Structure 1
Amino acid sequence: MTEVSVRQTQLTINHQVDRAFTSSETGWQLVSGGITVATPSSLLLQCCAPVPLRNVALGKPSRSSSEFSSDFLPQRANDGVFTQPSNIFHSLANDTLPFLVIDLGLEYVIEAVALMPRLVTYGTRFEDIEIRTGLTYVLGPDFSTYTLLALFPGPSPNPVTWVTTNLTVPVLGRYITVRRMAAPGEPLEVSELMVYSRT
């Protein structure tokens, strides 16, 4: 039920005749004066519960500046598989500005991002990893017009685990970019990227 329809429901209830009424089916009570009293099983409480966050990047189209081989394609970064060391996106080693782009397909209000670095060895390659989002298509490698969501200075945690950022102010975005901003010479490696939204 949308916020508008919730308000309409409340208005309908509040403008009923001044009488006492109890609904065992929905759990709400209308008492004298047309005031709605919510109970734990209230429909009004249930319909207004926060919508859970979900990963809106899973399985969405992706592209990259380069690929180490056909075994390390960009779609490995958002396929939902992050416990297998060989299931990663891996750019070319000589890619001076390596990046990964995921197209969410629609605009989402982004509230958090989580990134799993490469699971084994090469933790120092995870350096100055920048995640941004924007609403318009940009070819790359310059994504400076996009809004910065997270910057992970690195190296990757030992043992390797998720690095996450919860945004204090949600950001509207469609295109998600991951870039290695450190000095050239090392590839960009991503086991999994998750982008969380309630919409």
Structure 2
Amino acid sequence: MAHTGDAVATRFIKMAHNFTSLNPGEWIRLQNQETRHYGPSKAVDQDRKTEYHSDDRLVYPWWVVDLGSTRIIYLIKILSRQNSYDFRFHDIEIRVGSERVDSGNLTSYTLFSRYLGPYKASYGYLSCHRAEGVEGRYVSIQRVTEEDDMLILQDVQVYVAP
């Protein structure tokens, strides 16, 4: 499977005194396949009218971000598609790792959170919080059920220790 990488600018909101935003210039997008129209940077482009989604008919679709250096991550907020296809966001694992994985097998990463779903657009952002924080450089979001439906992300925000 081919990987693509492209630099992106994104926003990260300071939520509380113990969290800080990341330098947008340090972010690099990765994914497990080429997409025709909705590249991985669309999940962090500050435009809620755009979205990332994987191509059709992929089993275990995934999305990974390289934070540029090792960080202690406390909170990850995810906004899935906000229309009639919101049901596609379910059985999701959010993981944090220290080494780049190109195979799509992200089980070596530490499990940060799991979302079983089903998701509804009225939920808005899903917040995944780890009070003790998880150290890593890479954050992954992956559907872990054996079905060939797209992974769709409208916005992803990561909060780290200052």
TM-score if structure 2 supplies the norm length? Answer: 0.82
Q: Which structure 1 residue ranges, 5 or more long, are not aligned?
A: 1-49
Q: Which structure 2 residue ranges, 5 or more long, are not aligned?
A: 1-15
1:66 aligns with 2:29: no
Q: Which has the larger strand fraction?
A: 2
- Return the structure number with greater relative CO, CA threshold 8 A, min gap 6: 2
List 4+ stretches of structure 1 deviating above 3 A: none
* Residues 136-175 of structure 1: per-residue CA shift (max 9 Å, x gap): 1111311111011111111213424000111122111101
Amino acid at match of 2:52: F
Give the Cα–Cα distance (whole angstroms) in 2 for the partners of residues 114 and 137 of structure 1. Answer: 22
Q: Which has the larger radius of gyration?
A: 1
**Pairwise mapping of residues 74-85 of structure 1 onto structure 2 (< 5 A)?**
74-81=40-47, 83-84=48-49
Amino acid at match of 1:79: D
**Two-structure CA RMSD over aligned residues (Å):** 1.8
Deviation at 1:80, TM superposition (A): 2.5
Within the candidate set 103, 109, 118, 2:72 is matched to: 109
Within the candidate set 148, 159, 162, 1:196 is matched to: 159
Q: Percent identity?
A: 25
Query: Secondary structure at 2:122's aligned position in 1?
Result: coil
Amino acid at match of 1:135: S
Deviation at 1:123, TM superposition (A): 2.0
Seen in structure 2, the aligned counterparts of structure 1 residues 170 and 64 have a Cα distance that, compared at 3 Å, is same
Give the Cα–Cα distance (whole angstroms) in 1 for the partners of residues 61 and 32 of structure 2. Answer: 6
Amino acid at match of 1:151: R
Count of residue correspondences: 146
Amino acid at match of 1:114: K
TM-score if structure 1 supplies the norm length? Answer: 0.68
Aligned residue for 2:127?
164
Query: Secondary structure at 1:77's aligned position in 2?
Result: helix
Seen in structure 2, the aligned counterparts of structure 1 residues 99 and 142 have a Cα distance that, compared at 3 Å, is same
Give the Cα–Cα distance (whole angstroms) in 2 for the partners of residues 153 and 195 of structure 1. Answer: 20
